[in-house]
Structure 1
Amino acid sequence: MLLLPYKYSRWRTIAIMSIAAIIGLGLFLAKEAEVVSYMSDDPKACVNCHVMTPVYNSWMHSSHREWANCNDCHVPHNNIANKYFFKAKDGLYHASIFTLRKEPEVIFMREASQEVVQDNCIRCHVQQVTQTKYDGWITDHTQNRTERKCWSCHQEIPHGSVHGTSTIQYNIAPLPTDTGETIIPEWIKQELKTSKNEE
């Protein structure tokens, strides 16, 4: 058995205790920050940061709620590695801004996020964007629709026209998204049932 001089064993003890404290603190912070939830596609993970509550609530009341969650629009879908790399990079940026209390009143996408959202708009709405029936009589139809940002025209989709963190009424906590209910009003459901019965 090799005996180390006293000063080396003391430093080894301090190093082990320091590493254990850092790992313990890291695990505690990861649990408190609900880090694992960010790996899911659950929209409620986005509201772990309170500044995202108005964005979440506006999405909850939009038609996109029925078809797309946050990751469907805001994360790349070209491969799994890029998806999680982008989520980690963007999440660390958001976490640092939120921790430093530097979040703006109105949140805007950075350039990298704009590219991702634009690509995802086209990915889901490719038929509407690239319909060839117009190419014969509208000059540069496809280029016109793919080279500019979708939200230059569709400004209120899916987060509405009110974008400030303090401007949405009753902006306390997210509404549950897993209730199985749709946002289709009852009178439309009745109308659909009536029209089916008449056929």
Structure 2
Amino acid sequence: MGFKFNILPKEGNWRKTALFFTAVIIGLGLFMAQEAKVTSYLSDDPQACVNCHVMTSVYNSWMHSSHREWANCNDCHVPHDNVFNKYYFKAKDGLYHASVFTARAEPDVIKMKEASQEVVQQNCIRCHVQQVTQVKYEGWLEGHNESRTGRQCWSCHKQIPHGKVHGILTTRTNIAPLPTDQEDETVIPLWLEKEINKE
């Protein structure tokens, strides 16, 4: 006496099963995209960079720099030669960052890869082209004229725009910034608001 187990769906039912699993996969993908705030990475909003907590100290140091008023993260860290190249670079760099973050393999000190260094250098020159090319700086600093575009800007300007903070462990209990552009959310914690209102 033998039993037959048929794990395959009956003929005609395979479409329903395939449709069900396709819907589950798409649903999980959309849920993960919403949880990871994927669409925020298409914008130029610096808050998108803080979706990963490892960027908190870098974001906070930028917030206290003079560049905050003139440049956001994408102004410095993505190419600006054309739209395709900008989003291609963002996607490539973002997928690398996401994979490192997901694998919990982020280094204590975050350093730019060679491709990112080239992009940042070109953007420094793009924004500061007058300072780089002006003749009045001749003789101002020995060797400065020859090395204006020959070496990386941050080899001299080390404190700009991120200051001395370069690692995720350098700022103890570093708190991610709260968005201040939303009316329904308050920046002041409830316990503090109660204390303020007591007085």
Aligned to 1:189: none
Aligned to 1:3: none
Question: What is the CA-CA distance between 1:85 and the residue it aligns to?
Answer: 0.9
Q: Which string of whole-angstrom CA distances, capped at 9 and with x for unpartnered residues, describes residues 148-170 of structure 1?
A: 11111111110011211021244
- How many residue pairs get matched? 174
Question: What is the CA-CA distance between 1:13 and the residue it aligns to?
Answer: 2.4
Contact 2:139 2:145 in 1 (8 A): no
The answer for unaligned runs of 5 or more in structure 2 is 1-8, 183-199
Paired residue for 2:89, among 86, 104, 112? Answer: 86
Higher share in helix: 1
* Gap change, CA 1:137 and 1:56, over 3 Å in 2: closer
Q: Which string of whole-angstrom CA distances, capped at 9 and with x for unpartnered residues, describes residues 38-87 of structure 1?
A: 11111001000000000000000011101100010001111111111111
SS in 1 for 2:24: helix
Q: How does 1:21-40 map to 2 (within 5 A)?
A: 21-40=24-43
Q: Which string of whole-angstrom CA distances, capped at 9 and with x for unpartnered residues, describes residues 1-52 of structure 1?
A: xxxxx74423322222221111111100000000011111110010000000
Mapped pair 1:144 → 2:147? yes
TM-score normalized by structure 2? Answer: 0.79
- Quick one: distance in 2 between partners of 1:177 and 1:115? 33
RMSD, matched Cα: 2.4
Contact 1:106 1:164 in 2 (8 A): yes
- Quick one: distance in 1 between partners of 2:146 and 2:115? 21
* Gap change, CA 1:57 and 1:137, over 3 Å in 2: closer
The answer for unaligned runs of 5 or more in structure 1 is 1-5, 180-199
TM-score normalized by structure 1? Answer: 0.79
Contact 1:47 1:56 in 2 (8 A): yes
* Gap change, CA 1:178 and 1:75, over 3 Å in 2: farther
Percent identity over the alignment? 72
